Amino acid sequence: MESIWVRGPTEFIMTKTNLFDLNYAALSAFLKAMGEPAFRAKQLFQWMHQRGVVDFNAMSDMSKRLRERLSETAELTLCTIDSEHIATDGTYKWVMRLSDGNCIESVYIPEDDRGTLCVSSQVGCVLNCSFCSTGQRGFSRNLTVAEIIGQVWIAVRRLSEANGEHDRRITNVVMMGMGEPLLNFEAVVSAMDIMMDDNAYGISKRRVTLSTSGVVPMMQRLREISDVALAVSLHAPNDALRNILVPLNRKYPLAELMQTCRDYFKVHGKRRVTFEYVMLDNVNDKPEHARQLVDLIGDMNCMVNLIPFNPFPETIYKRSKRDRIDAFWRTLEAAGITCVTRKTRGDDIDAACGQLVGDVQDRTTRSQSIEQRQIKLKEQLDAFR
């Protein structure tokens, strides 16, 4: 792998390779092209990800000549923490500044038996799901591998610094932050490879979860190359309602999506798909919706996460009442479907599900404001009811 020379105003400027953009296979190829033995990749990977060292000169078990060559041709560049927020329940939210001025958000959720990091894959989101603040704020671009794995790198170090001997470990990673992961396929898969690599973070493939709104062709492709856990943002039990809540459904309707979900873990009989279902008051939480959901997924090896809606400015939605959520849960459980109601975490720092917004330089061509789009949405829902 060679460095690239770019013509500047008066001279050629060498563009260095950011090694945080490379998974283990790519890093091995990079070093092989430099004439280095295979074991160097393991050494360098461990320095970067396990020891958190970003200065080639500090990598003491590598030769001086190699460190010099790496300094000339490569770099170790990450995003930086713009701000940190800690909720009363111990949830952390980091706003991370990217080199182009955009910001993304990552969230760490501590539990008694695990620590889950929610990672972003895009700056904003193009899908425009009506109940999600991220989608309402627009879309700028995909994140690079370095910007995705950098969220894990930063969170590991920051948690260690903040908690000292009471170390909070990241045991689970969910690609459920800003963006649709499957619309940034190559970078997300490469970053997940790094998360699961024993020479990096060593997270079990069963503890790395990719959440999608249902990009069917990419789900099929993911199944061919990875067996990470899968979560599907469902949110409605019929096409008419899902077309409003998740506009992607117009392209990949429920029949096609459900068949893809059934196929996903065929070779892994004990694995199951998780369906995410945000509970919206008087929208998708009625008894008939619960019965429709049973009919839709009742024959599948799956689990349902019921998510109390987390409000954001300008939204027309309200959180379902507790008794309505409980009744919905009972209907699913009675049908033999494993169902849990997710705890609302970090809502006092806008870190709860659907609340991440970052600071997005919107490159979409949306002509209407959020408020105007929410008014139009209300008209659609009124007509649907």
pTM of the predicted structure, to 2 decimals: 0.91
What's the confidence (pLDDT) of residue 112? Answer: 86
Say what percent of the chain tops pLDDT 70: 88
CATH for 4-75 is 1.10.150.530
Q: Report DSSP letters for 156-182, one per residue.
A: HHHHHHHHTTS-----EEEE-SSS-GG
Q: What is the mean pLDDT of residues 290-310?
A: 95
Residues labelled as active-site residues: 105, 353
Phi, psi for residue 70 in degrees, rounded to 5: -65, -40
d(CA 73, CA 55) in angstroms, rounded, equals: 13
**Pairwise CA distance, residues 341 & 321, whole Å:** 13
pLDDT tens digits along 233-248: 999 999 999 999 999 9
Q: What is the mean pLDDT of the chain?
A: 89
Domain(s) labelled CATH 1.10.150.530 in the chain stretch across 4-75
Statement: residue 287 has pLDDT above 50: yes
Q: Which DSSP category does 182 fall into?
A: G
- The amino acid occupying position 286 is K
The fold of the 80-384 domain, in CATH, is: TIM Barrel (3.20.20)
Tell me where in the chain the CATH 3.20.20.70 domain(s) lie: 80-384
For the segment 309-347, what is each residue's pLDDT rounded down to a tens digit? 988 888 899 999 999 999 999 999 999 999 999 888 777
